[in-house]
């Protein structure tokens, strides 16, 4: 069965760069990120290698520099995270902050609206960028249009840093590594929301300071509106704020009520509905048409085939390929 989606396929954003010419590197970095000045601080090799994979509002760049480089960058307009693999980033600073980073560190380079500067010393690292609006989509309610800002440049704990680093690796190696999967509308939206939620969980932020739901329960009619919205929009990119908006309540009230009355979360309910649609597609598909389990999983926003199979088996007590083949 072919399912019709209102979302458009989001084209992959990919680039590669390899040069030992500093002027060429500076020009490339200025076009790929924001206007910047760079200068080599060491004689010898000046080779720079960059590989980007991105989709929609998120991207992950792997960068390797064979030399020490001082940099000065204008505001990026995006949340810019750095994970250091090798080498060091020294004297990194922006308004009110000066710090140095080494292997394993996960940091916010600077708020989207501030310039920053520092030195990269023979480092290999990755840069993950996302649209600041994603943070508000994940954290804000329907009546809260204020942007959400990160209020610290380091994660709140080592465990939070490790979890965010794992999320970035998963995004890079599982979602963005397969263009056919990543370009599925629901996969792109789900991956972006998961990254934004992981960033908010890792860093202190302004959303934590906003008033909560004060333990107020949603009316039954509001809960029914939320459930109906999930059912009607399961084939589209949906955020918690979208569901709360449809129910005319705050995000925190929505989450509180789902947990209290349904023992679940809004996004878990959305995942359950999408899994049911995937089950229907697998049950009614003709294997002779060349449809695969991976195709169906990606169609409904499940970008990790192994996790989809595990969730499917837990729910339907059989493997998805068995449903597809009619065994």
Give the CATH number for residue 97.
2.60.120.10
Please give the tally of structural domains in the chain: 2
Give the pLDDT of residue 216: 53
Q: Say if 251 falls within a structural domain.
A: no
Q: Does residue 254 carry a pLDDT above 60?
A: yes
pLDDT band (50, 70, 90) for residue 244:
confident
CA distance 42 to 12: 36
CA distance 317 to 13: 38
Q: Say if 114 falls within a structural domain.
A: yes
CATH number, domain containing residue 315: 1.10.10.60
Q: Which structural domain range is residue 94 located in?
A: 12-131
Between 85 and 181, whose confidence is greater?
85
Give the pLDDT of residue 32: 86
Q: Say if 94 falls within a structural domain.
A: yes
Instruction: Look at residues 73, 103, 131 and tell me which one is the last residue of a structural domain.
Output: 131
Instruction: Look at residues 105, 131, 157 and tell me which one is the last residue of a structural domain.
Output: 131
Q: Say if 167 falls within a structural domain.
A: no
* HEC secondary structure over 144-197: CCCCCCECCCCCCCHHHHHHHHHHHHHHHHHHCCCHHHHCCHHHHHHHHHHHHH
Which residues make Cβ contacts (< 8 Å) with residue 9, sequence separation at least 6? 183, 184, 185
User: For 128, how many CA atoms within 13 A lie in the half-sphere containing its CB?
Assistant: 22
Place of tokens 């998805």: 320
Q: What angle do CA 33, 196, 127 make, to 5 degrees?
A: 30
Q: What angle do CA 51, 55, 57 make, to 5 degrees?
A: 110
Express each pLDDT in 12-31 by its tens digit: 778 899 999 989 999 998 88
Look up residue 173 and give its two tokens. Answer: 């190696």
- Of 148, 161, 163, 158, the residue nearest 194 (C-alpha): 163
Question: Do 182 and 303 touch, CB atoms closer than 8 A?
Answer: yes
Q: For residues 98-105, give the mean pLDDT.
A: 94
Among residues of the chain, what percentage have pLDDT more than 90? 43
Q: Say if 24 falls within a structural domain.
A: yes
Express each pLDDT in 187-222 by its tens digit: 888 888 889 888 988 998 887 644 444 445 577 888
pLDDT band (50, 70, 90) for residue 85:
very high
Instruction: Look at residues 131, 148, 183 and tell me which one is the last residue of a structural domain.
Output: 131
Average pLDDT, the chain: 85
């Amino acid at each position: 069965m072919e399912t019709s989606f209102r979302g458009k396929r989001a084209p992959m954003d990919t680039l590669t760069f390899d040069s030992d010419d500093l002027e060429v590197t500076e020009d490339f970095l200025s076009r790929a990120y924001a206007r910047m000045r760079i200068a080599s601080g060491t004689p010898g090799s000046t080779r720079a290698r960059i590989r980007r994979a991105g989709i929609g509002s998120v991207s992950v760049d792997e960068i390797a520099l064979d030399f020490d480089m001082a940099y000065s960058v204008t505001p990026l307009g995006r949340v810019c995270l750095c994970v250091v693999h090798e080498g060091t980033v020294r004297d990194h600073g922006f308004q009110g902050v000066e710090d140095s980073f080494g292997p394993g560190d996960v940091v916010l380079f600077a708020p989207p609206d501030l310039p920053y500067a520092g030195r990269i010393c023979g480092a290999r690292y990755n840069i993950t960028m996302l649209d600041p609006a994603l943070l508000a989509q994940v954290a804000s309610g329907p009546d809260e249009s204020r942007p959400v800002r990160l209020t610290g440049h380091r994660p709140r704990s080592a465990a939070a840093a490790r979890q965010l680093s794992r999320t970035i690796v998963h995004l890079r190696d599982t979602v963005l590594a397969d263009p056919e999967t990543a370009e599925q509308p629901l996969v792109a939206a789900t991956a972006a929301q998961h990254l934004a939620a992981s960033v908010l969980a890792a860093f202190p932020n302004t959303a934590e300071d906003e008033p909560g739901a004060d333990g107020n329960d949603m009316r039954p009619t509001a809960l029914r509106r939320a459930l109906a919205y999930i059912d009607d929009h399961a084939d589209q990119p949906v955020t918690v704020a979208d569901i709360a908006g449809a129910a005319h309540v705050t995000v925190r009230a929505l989450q509180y009520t789902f947990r209290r009355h349904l023992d679940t979360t809004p996004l878990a309910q959305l995942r359950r509905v999408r899994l049911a649609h995937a089950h229907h597609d697998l049950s009614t598909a003709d294997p002779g048409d060349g449809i695969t389990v991976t195709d169906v999983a990606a169609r409904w926003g499940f970008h990790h085939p192994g996790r989809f199979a595990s969730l499917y088996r837990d729910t339907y007590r059989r493997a998805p390929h068995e449903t597809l083949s009619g065994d």
